[in-house]
Amino acid sequence: MAGGLAATFAHPGSRGVIGVAFDPDNELLAAADASGRAYLWDLIRGDLARTFVSRRSGGLNGVAFCLGGDLLAAASGDGRVCLWEVVSGRPAGSFVIPGSPTVYAVSSGPGGQVLAAACGSGWVYLWDMPTRRLAGALPPPGAGPGSQGVNGVAFGPGGSMLAAADGNGQVYLWDTAAGRLAAAFAHPGRRGVNGVAFAPGGSMLAAADGNGQVYLWDTAAGRLAAAFGDPSSRGANAVAFAPGGHLLAVGDGNGCTYLWQLSPTAP
């Protein structure tokens, strides 16, 4: 289903790209770096538009656009979620995830009103962004013996489904309204799942693997539909579908973000 490599962004001074996210208008691509920086790329011009720096961070592990794209949220290695105003570049505060030394990933729900934060403790916390208050929490089945923490999290279209990627190689699908587990996928890779993303229609789920592979799952059938590898990969850490579903961004441990053109048959 991958139609070919469309573009490559090499992040300056990168120690590995850990998270990627498209803005709602499909004009910007954000990339989180292990060095504590978030890069904002202009997809129309193809150049670096802005760099955000978290000076207290132990590295940035994931990014998400919130509140209609006005804010950029970043998962921090020091247990916080950092916020910046996208247009001005000014810091917009931060909040601490309870009981977690590290935040591994963030995902924005419909309209950017709710933010999910995945933690090394195995919990996924849900934050109401207009009020900046904790709205709920989900303990994935992998939390406990054998779990290596939740590495990635992604809302499905409409926010009714939430995918959580575990370091033990499992992807869990939660029904957010009922607060119950809806499905689970046993990942074929051997190094855990680092990131997940739903296609705009929700019928496809992409999963990034530490061995450099990206797997595409048919969510309705619960089966693996396709797989492809990063060029010169040092591990695929994050994935994000463009709003139209025609592009898939893959953040790699080698410091690059790859944009893959998806074939018309990809949902």
In a domain, 234, yes or no: yes
| Full domain range(s) for residue 141 | 2-262
Q: How many domains does the chain have?
A: 1
Distance of CA 153 to the CA centre of its chain: 6
Give pTM, 2 decimals. 0.91
CATH number for the domain including 31?
Answer: 2.130.10.10
In a domain, 131, yes or no: yes
In a domain, 24, yes or no: yes
In a domain, 158, yes or no: yes
In a domain, 155, yes or no: yes
* Contact between residue 237 and residue 255 where contact means Cβ atoms under 8 Å apart: no
In a domain, 267, yes or no: no
Would you tell me how many other CB atoms lie within 10 Å of the CB of residue 148?
14
Q: How many CA atoms lie within 13 A of 96 on its CB side?
A: 6
In a domain, 116, yes or no: yes
Output the tens digit of pLDDT for each of the chain's 267 residues.
556 888 899 887 777 899 999 999 999 999 998 888 999 999 999 999 999 998 776 789 999 999 999 999 999 988 999 999 999 999 999 998 887 788 999 999 988 999 999 987 788 999 999 999 999 888 866 544 445 678 899 999 889 899 998 877 888 888 888 878 888 887 776 668 899 999 998 989 999 988 888 999 998 888 888 888 766 777 899 999 999 999 999 999 888 999 999 875 544
